[in-house]
Amino acid sequence: MKSQIVTFLIKCPDQKGLVAKITNFFFEKGFNIISCQQYVNSIEKMYFMRIRLDAEGASLTKKELEHSFLEIAVPLQFDWSVNFGGVKQKVAIMVSHTSHNLYNLLERQKEGNLDCEIEMVISNHNKLRPIAEMFGVPYHYLPITKDTKSEQEAQIIALLDAHEIDLVIMARYMQILSSEFINRYPEKIINIHHSFLPAFQGADPYKKAYERGVKLIGATAHYATEDLDEGPIIVQNVETVTHDSTPKTLKKLVQILKP
């Protein structure tokens, strides 16, 4: 295998000797470990590892490595995946009216801070088309009404599948996706939510936060699931507020935060 970075993601029931068995496997195959992140969920008794390897000097092909890894993956009950780098993930961004998340994602990708290919922007409104065009990203305007929801989602699915999209980012897409849509792309849809979940779910969290008198406001990125705004949280960011904050100032503050 020529010089390249290989990344393994591993999840399995926790048990003694996992680190030794995994690292020894890669050592014996000729890989150099660049980094290794791991932790144990003590409540669920599950072990998680992300290990990055330099393949220079390893004699295995990609298929041989995957097949050989089964030698330890099967008996240790690994739920695992491997990324060989070189091919960037294809991303689609879904938006409605609000522009700040779209700007942020497109700018960070253009500057090289997001290692992906943003293939398209999909929206149920035409308002943000100039932003996508500014960055040279195709913009697909797919309007929706309560009577055309299934037809509109079918159009989105056709676009995602035709372009082999790896990840969908809901960057203030103000529509609730159907269960059928979400289950078609498990763990491949991320929602950027303008609230510090699980607090103030759904629409207009600024008003709810103001009425509650909170002194922390935030933003959350999480995986989309059938349960609205209750999917696994990926990352959050918060900022303190004072008693003189209003729903309007809370909204402006959240727009600055980057989850």
**What's the average model confidence in pLDDT over 55-80?**
92
What is the reported pLDDT for 194? 72
Residue 56 pLDDT: 85
Mean pLDDT of 206-227: 74
Q: Structurally, what CATH architecture does the domain formed by 89-256 represent?
A: 3-Layer(aba) Sandwich (3.40)
pLDDT at 43 over 60: yes
Q: 97 forms bridges with which residues in the sheet?
A: none
Per-residue pLDDT reduced to its tens digit, 72-104 = 999 999 999 998 876 789 999 999 998 988 998
pLDDT, mean over the chain: 86
Q: Give the domain 5-83 fold.
A: Alpha-Beta Plaits (3.30.70)
Residue 110: which pLDDT band, with cuts at 50, 70 and 90?
very high
Per-residue pLDDT band at 198 (split at 50, 70, 90): low
**Given pLDDT bands bounded at 50, 70 and 90, which one contains residue 154?**
very high
Does the pLDDT at position 143 exceed 80?
Answer: yes
**pLDDT of 36 strictly over 90:** yes
Find out whether 222 and 191 touch, Cβ atoms under 8 Å: yes
Neighbouring residues of 51: CB distance < 8 A, sequence distance ≥ 6: 7, 8, 10, 22, 23, 26, 33, 35, 36, 37
The whole-angstrom separation of Cα 72 and Cα 144 is 49
- pLDDT bracket for residue 22 (50, 70, 90): very high
In the chain, what percentage of residues exceed pLDDT 90?
Answer: 59
Residue extents of the structural domains in the chain:
5-83, 89-256
Mean pLDDT of the region 166-190: 93
pLDDT at 107 over 80: yes
Catalytic residues: 229
Given a cut of 90, whether residue 119 has pLDDT beyond it is yes
C-alpha 219/C-alpha 197 separation (Å) is 8
- Can you tell me the mean pLDDT for 61-73? 93
Question: What per-residue confidence (pLDDT) applies to 200?
Answer: 66
Return the structure tokens found at 81.
């995946």
